[in-house]
């Protein structure tokens, strides 16, 4: 933004979440929503750098046993329409290219809302024998949804600019199911590195991915208590394989359908990162993904040049250790600089004034407010890296505490209705579709699905009264 | 590709360039052209890795003083149609999105063929004062052209999957012109790192970018003597600034139009890389961009495990120095492995057999055929890195020699007509538009433009006979 706009930026308190979020995207220069198409926005350089660091983590986690590829954006209508369940799930929100130049196209082209129908015709060609399995690929691409609902930057978009979608093929259903587990574990680890705890649940049958046997999802509880789905993994079984005729020859020479999975994460991970950690002063970024990890602010009293010289020397030492450091030696007052870099979530600020130099120390202020004096010698870099680790722990624990405080086991519909106003209700549920729909209707919230790995003692389903150990998370969803 | 297809792959000799190129894209697993839309193809994992390493170089060269950003793919017709020259240049080849779901859109959306009309309305918002200048941004995105000509993988595409486009804004025309020079120098350096020499010329007025004051282009001479335009930089002056009202307040408080440039490189750089260096055995890749830099092939005589153990140890040493190394300990014969990795352009192959181990050496074979014995001790890594450097020099010199051999100063139309059958003609030209068109008509080739920095003694224009120091490259273009 221009210098003037920067001065004018006023961040509302985070308790006013929606306004805080929108203003922060602008003040911290994440995305510019003024692009002249609704639901499509521009990544500012700072936001783009943040996004790159975040996606680098996903890539690292996947590159262990996945290959990165890229498939075309445009999908011929003929391929797109093949899988009946799938198309039902997407046909109302697909953008169609109908003209090239001034001529109508013979076959309309869909802008991918997700790439199953672009990728699977190729997997049919790529997979022949059991030796080609398992096959694990992913791509990070832009996808499109003609959203008719209210759009929201990074959360509900018409152009999802950075959809990481993985697609795998396996010999058996069991191996595919195991891959879904692995995917979920990787995603949990991904969010852990962003210091974000997640809820994991198996989506109810009526909310699974169109064409899947089942779907597992990760949700983050946002500051206002609503949940944001930030990752999903789907067991596709042989549903798409049958449609696209993806078969392999097994050890005995027989042709079999492959079993598939797919799993995805979008820039909602950036939305979660901003929403979970940010505070009244702006972004709070984990060290690993901060575009600027350390900012050095000289505190000038008396002669300027000797202080700047020390700052430069420290900046160069940090840069030599691959720390993303910025020396802010501009003309603004230190207070204005603090404000600006706090807004951008810089994890560690170093202040250096004449007294610090005299004492051979630097003053550091972590973005969570912790203030320390560190030695200005060869121990400095390691000391800063320890602060970065500590900040990470603080952020995760704070986020976990918040999440836990927002989940409540309820024992009546009234209690559930009240709980979902500001958080997530864990609702005793027999597991039947009828009772599930009834819960959604009567509580006025969405059923996220069964929590995993944490069973309750038998309780009565809030609808039918049958006793069951089952339960579901319910929440108002973004 | 499947194991069977791999065995069946037969690479035609490079002298049969077109078939060689297409088969190599498949055999070396660069792109799969079987995607069911003409002119759009799939990046195989190996091709994608190559592309990533190549684009990493562009990013490094630009990140010094450019910011990476990302703008939306879809451009409203209203914005797209604003710049008259520009739209004339693109209107026949733009894909249009006309429907969202089943509903027609109020305003049609263009798939960007290039992003001036997406970016410049935002620059109007981003730039206010001289303090915001110069502004230099870039993005790497997919762009679309509804090509009616014959498409060709990586060369003439309907989806350009990796268009790196930079856009800059400056206070004065002179500064913008200087930026065009800087861009061209960066591009020359980029190609130098790929060991590719380029021709640089100023395109004739009738072949400049639609909406530009002038355009400078880089061309590579392909094996068949035709040229491939692999990079362009355009001086836009205030043409777009006037259309999109991009102004800044100068030091004296006056509003002025910014002066702009833009410059781009697409995956044609990968096509050039493949075509310039490849040979009858497949890809030949410079070290810096090779997805696999070193392949280790054990030569088993007698006991297998001790040899594999040594190979593993060397692989781990190389990996520890950030070398992309692959140990191929599969069951195939060494010859089959050599064939496979030569096809993929691996710069250095290490062969390790019982005798090597006994003698404390390894045998290396560079992709240009040079064979050496290197010590199997702590000197090995540095020795390999020196080989990588030498290979780079060999590749560049070989390519430069080829390029020089393909350019000829001609002194008659007949000679020019003959020269462009297998290379580039340098044609004396007075510089007039009429004579330029006449040259194109009469020689049956395109006028690339004035070579830069290498003037000729006065010669007679081949059309009008006037004496002039001017000349132009002419070639059949891809």
| In the predicted structure, residue B150 carries a pLDDT above the cut 70 | yes
pLDDT at B108: 96
Residue A448 covered by a domain: yes
pLDDT at A264: 98
CA A366 – CA A390 distance, rounded (Å): 10
Asked whether the beta carbons of A259 and A170 are under 8 A apart, the reply is yes
User: Which residue in B has a C-alpha nearest to residue A87's C-alpha?
Assistant: B101
Q: Does B173 touch chain A (CB under 8 A)?
A: no
**3-state class of B433 per DSSP?**
helix
| Extended beta strands in B386-464, E state | 407-409, 424-428, 446-451, 459-460
Put simply, the chain A residues between 345 and 384 with a CB less than 8 A from any chain B CB are none
**3-state class of A98 per DSSP?**
strand
Calculate how close chain B gets to A317, using CA atoms only, in Å.
Answer: 19
Q: For residues B154-161, give the mean pLDDT.
A: 97
Residues 6 or more apart in contact with residue A128 via CB below 8 angstroms: A248, A249, B2, B3, B4
Going B284 to B288 to B289 to B292, the CA torsion angle's sign is: positive
| In the predicted structure, residue A24 carries a pLDDT above the cut 90 | yes
| In the predicted structure, residue B4 carries a pLDDT above the cut 60 | no
Q: What is the CATH number of the domain that holds A377?
A: 3.40.50.800
CA A17 – CA A9 distance, rounded (Å): 16
pLDDT at A84: 77
Query: A244 and A311: one domain?
Result: no
Calculate how close chain A gets to B32, using CA atoms only, in Å.
Answer: 9
Query: B304 and B420: one domain?
Result: no
Using 50, 70 and 90 to split pLDDT, how confident is the model at B8? low
Residue B272 covered by a domain: yes
The total number of structural domains in chain A stands at 3
Inter-chain contact B95–A100, Cβ cutoff 8 Å? yes
**3-state class of B221 per DSSP?**
strand
- B433-469 pLDDT, tens digit each: 999 999 999 999 999 999 987 778 999 999 999 999 9
Inter-chain contact A3–B131, Cβ cutoff 8 Å? yes
CB atoms within 10 A of CB B415: 16
Q: What are phi and psi of B374, to 5 degrees?
A: -120, 150
Using 50, 70 and 90 to split pLDDT, how confident is the model at B7? low
Q: For residues B274-293, give the mean pLDDT.
A: 98
Q: Please tell me which of the candidates A1, A128, A146 has its beta carbon nearest to residue B100.
A: A146
Asked whether the beta carbons of B109 and B97 are under 8 A apart, the reply is yes
Which chain A residues are closer than 8 Å to B100 by Cβ?
Answer: 93-96, 146
User: Which residue in B has a C-alpha nearest to residue A69's C-alpha?
Assistant: B45
Asked whether the beta carbons of A310 and A357 are under 8 A apart, the reply is yes
Q: Does A129 touch chain B (CB under 8 A)?
A: yes
List the single best residue of A56, A101, A331 to mutate versus B (max B Cβ within 10 A): A101
Going A264 to A269 to A271 to A275, the CA torsion angle's sign is: positive
Query: A266 and A321: one domain?
Result: no
pTM above 0.90, yes or no: yes
Secondary structure (DSSP) of A327-383: E--SSS-HHHHHHHHHHTT-SEEEEE-HHHHHHTEEEEEETTS-EEEEESSTTHHHH
Calculate how close chain A gets to B16, using CA atoms only, in Å.
Answer: 27
Inter-chain contact B71–A109, Cβ cutoff 8 Å? no
Residues 6 or more apart in contact with residue A355 via CB below 8 angstroms: none
Q: Please tell me which of the candidates B52, B72, B94 has its beta carbon nearest to residue A35.
A: B72
Q: For residues B239-260, give the mean pLDDT.
A: 97
List the single best residue of B38, B73, B117 to mutate versus A (max A Cβ within 10 A): B73
Q: For residues B207-215, give the mean pLDDT.
A: 94
Residue B398 covered by a domain: no
Which chain A residues are closer than 8 Å to B96 by Cβ?
Answer: 97-100
| Bridge partner list, A390 | none
| Extended beta strands in A66-170, E state | 67-68, 74-76, 95-100, 103-111, 135-144, 159-170
In order of A145, A461, B9, B69, the CA distances from A222 in angstroms are 23, 27, 54, 27
Query: A34 and A148: one domain?
Result: yes
Q: Does A1 touch chain B (CB under 8 A)?
A: yes
| Bridge partner list, B192 | none
Q: Please tell me which of the candidates A91, A95, A122 has its beta carbon nearest to residue B42.
A: A122
**Domain range enclosing B371:** 294-388
Size of interface A-B (CB pairs under 8 A): 172
- Given phi > 0 = left and psi -120 to 50 = alpha, else beta, which region is B296? beta
CA B270 – CA B54 distance, rounded (Å): 8
pLDDT at B380: 96
Inter-chain contact B109–A95, Cβ cutoff 8 Å? yes
Residue B401 covered by a domain: no
**3-state class of B283 per DSSP?**
coil
CA B407 – CA B399 distance, rounded (Å): 13
Q: What is the CATH number of the domain that holds B451?
A: 3.30.110.30
pLDDT at A4: 53
Which chain B residues are closer than 8 Å to A91 by Cβ?
Answer: 101-102
Query: B368 and B333: one domain?
Result: yes
Q: Of all helices (H) and strands (E), which one includes residue A259?
A: strand A259-265
Q: For residues A322-332, give the mean pLDDT.
A: 96
Query: A455 and A307: one domain?
Result: no
Residue A286 covered by a domain: no
Inter-chain contact B99–A95, Cβ cutoff 8 Å? yes
| Extended beta strands in B332-445, E state | 348-352, 361-366, 371-375, 407-409, 424-428
Calculate how close chain B gets to A427, using CA atoms only, in Å.
Answer: 36
Cβ-based burial of A447 (10 A; exposed 0-12, middle 13-18, buried ≥19): buried
In order of A292, A343, A357, A420, B126, the CA distances from A323 in angstroms are 8, 20, 22, 42, 29
Query: A429 and A340: one domain?
Result: no
Query: A363 and A471: one domain?
Result: no
Which chain A residues are closer than 8 Å to B121 by Cβ?
Answer: 35-36
| In the predicted structure, residue A7 carries a pLDDT above the cut 60 | no
Query: B263 and B345: one domain?
Result: no
To the nearest 10 degrees (0 to 180), the angle between helices A268-277 and A17-27 is 110
pLDDT at A471: 95
Q: What is the CATH number of the domain that holds B219?
A: 3.30.930.10
Asked whether the beta carbons of A140 and A246 are under 8 A apart, the reply is no
Q: Which of B246, B277, B308 is the last residue of a domain?
A: B277
Q: For residues A355-370, give the mean pLDDT.
A: 96
Q: Of all helices (H) and strands (E), which one includes residue B270?
A: helix B268-277
Asked whether the beta carbons of B273 and B290 are under 8 A apart, the reply is no
Using 50, 70 and 90 to split pLDDT, how confident is the model at A233? very high
**3-state class of B68 per DSSP?**
strand
CA A201 – CA A150 distance, rounded (Å): 26
**3-state class of A36 per DSSP?**
coil
CA B423 – CA B419 distance, rounded (Å): 6
- A435-455 pLDDT, tens digit each: 999 999 999 999 999 998 777
Q: Which of A251, A277, A303 is the last residue of a domain?
A: A277
Inter-chain contact B159–A73, Cβ cutoff 8 Å? yes
Structure tokens at B423: 């290379």
In order of A254, A344, B216, B217, the CA distances from B268 in angstroms are 42, 37, 17, 13
List the single best residue of A38, A44, A59, A70 to mutate versus B (max B Cβ within 10 A): A70
Q: Which of A252, A277, A302 is the last residue of a domain?
A: A277
CA B266 – CA B115 distance, rounded (Å): 13
pLDDT at A450: 92
Q: Which contacts qualify for B299-303: CB closer than 8 Å, 24 or more apart? A: B299/B334, B299/B351, B299/B352, B299/B353, B299/B354, B299/B356, B300/B353, B301/B353, B301/B354, B302/B354
Put simply, the chain A residues between 86 and 125 with a CB less than 8 A from any chain B CB are 91-102, 109, 111, 118, 121-122, 125
Nearest to B201 by CA among B478, B434, B453: B453
- A263-272 pLDDT, tens digit each: 999 999 999 9
CA B6 – CA B341 distance, rounded (Å): 12
Whole-number mean pLDDT of chain A?
95
Asked whether the beta carbons of A234 and A218 are under 8 A apart, the reply is no
Nearest to A80 by CA among B36, B102, B95: B36
- B322-343 pLDDT, tens digit each: 999 999 999 999 999 999 999 9
pLDDT at B456: 85
List the single best residue of A3, A26, A39, A40 to mutate versus B (max B Cβ within 10 A): A40
Asked whether the beta carbons of B425 and B410 are under 8 A apart, the reply is yes
Query: B224 and B299: one domain?
Result: no
Structure tokens at A214: 């089942």
Which chain A residues are closer than 8 Å to B148 by Cβ?
Answer: 101
Put simply, the chain A residues between 69 and 88 with a CB less than 8 A from any chain B CB are 69-76, 78-79
Calculate how close chain A gets to B417, using CA atoms only, in Å.
Answer: 34
Query: B210 and B92: one domain?
Result: yes
Q: For residues A453-459, give the mean pLDDT.
A: 84
Inter-chain contact A69–B45, Cβ cutoff 8 Å? yes
Nearest to B120 by CA among B239, B253, B232, B207: B239
Burial letters B362-389, b for 16+ CB under 10 A, else e: bbbbbbeeeeeebebeeebbeebeebbe
| In the predicted structure, residue A8 carries a pLDDT above the cut 70 | no
CB atoms within 10 A of CB B444: 13
pLDDT at B10: 86
B298: DSSP letter: E
Residue B283 covered by a domain: no
Residue A396 covered by a domain: no
CA B283 – CA B23 distance, rounded (Å): 11
Percent of chain A with pLDDT over 70: 98
Query: B272 and B300: one domain?
Result: no
CA B73 – CA A161 distance, rounded (Å): 9
Calculate how close chain A gets to B199, using CA atoms only, in Å.
Answer: 31
Span of A78-92, A207-221, A251-265, B99-113 with lowest mean pLDDT: A78-92
Percent of chain B with pLDDT over 90: 93
CA A228 – CA B198 distance, rounded (Å): 51
CB atoms within 10 A of CB A192: 13
Q: For residues A91-116, give the mean pLDDT.
A: 95
Percent of chain A with pLDDT over 90: 93
pLDDT at B85: 78
- B46-62 pLDDT, tens digit each: 999 999 999 999 999 99
Residue A12 covered by a domain: no
């Amino acid at each position: 933004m221009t210098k003037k706009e920067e001065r004018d930026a006023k961040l509302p308190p985070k308790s006013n979440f929606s306004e805080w979020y929108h203003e922060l995207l602008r003040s911290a220069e994440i995305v510019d929503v003024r692009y002249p198409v609704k639901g499509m926005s521009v990544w500012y350089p700072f936001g783009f750098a943040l996004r790159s660091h975040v996606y680098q983590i996903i890539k690292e986690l996947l590159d262990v046993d996945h290959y990165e590829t890229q498939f075309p954006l445009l999908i011929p209508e003929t391929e797109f329409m093949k899988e009946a369940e799938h198309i039902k799930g997407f046909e109302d929100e697909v953008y169609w290219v109908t003209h090239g130049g001034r001529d109508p196209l013979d076959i309309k082209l869909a802008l991918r809302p997700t790439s199953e129908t672009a990728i699977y015709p190729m997997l049919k060609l790529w997979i022949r024998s059991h030796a080609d399995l398992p096959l694990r690929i992913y791509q990070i691409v832009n996808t499109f949804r003609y959203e008719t609902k209210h759009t929201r930057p990074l959360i509900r978009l018409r152009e999802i600019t950075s959809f990481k979608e993985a697609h795998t093929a396996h010999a058996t259903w069991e191996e595919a199911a195991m891959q879904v587990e692995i995917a979920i574990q990787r995603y949990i680890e991904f969010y852990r590195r962003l210091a974000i705890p997640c809820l994991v649940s198996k989506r109810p049958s009526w909310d699974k991915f169109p064409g899947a046997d089942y779907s597992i999802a990760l949700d983050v509880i946002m500051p206002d208590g609503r949940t944001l789905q930030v990752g999903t993994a789907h067991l596709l079984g042989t549903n798409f394989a049958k449609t696209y005729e993806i078969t392999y020859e097994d050890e005995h020479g027989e042709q079999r359908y492959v079993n598939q999975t797919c799993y995805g994460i979008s820039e909602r991970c950036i939305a979660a990162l901003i929403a979970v950690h940010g505070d009244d002063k702006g972004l709070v970024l984990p060290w690993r993904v901060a575009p600027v990890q350390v900012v050095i602010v000289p505190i000038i009293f008396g002669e300027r040049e000797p202080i700047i010289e020390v700052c430069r020397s420290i900046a160069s030492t940090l840069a030599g250790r691959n720390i993303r450091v910025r020396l802010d030696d501009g003309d603004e007052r230190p207070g204005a600089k603090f404000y600006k870099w706090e807004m951008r979530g810089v994890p560690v600020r170093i202040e250096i004034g004449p007294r610090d130099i005299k004492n051979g120390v630097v003053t550091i202020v972590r973005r969570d407010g912790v203030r320390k004096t560190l030695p200005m010698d060869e121990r400095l870099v390691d000391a800063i890296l320890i602060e970065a680790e500590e900040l990470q722990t603080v952020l995760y624990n704070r986020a976990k505490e918040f999440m836990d405080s927002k989940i409540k086991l309820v024992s009546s519909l009234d209690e559930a209705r009240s709980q979902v106003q500001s958080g997530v209700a864990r609702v005793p549920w027999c597991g039947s579709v009828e009772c599930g729909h009834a819960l959604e209707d009567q509580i006025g919230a969405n059923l996220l699905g069964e929590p995993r790995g944490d069973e309750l003692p038998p309780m009565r389903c809030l609808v039918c009264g049958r006793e069951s150990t089952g339960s579901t998370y319910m929440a108002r969803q973004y």
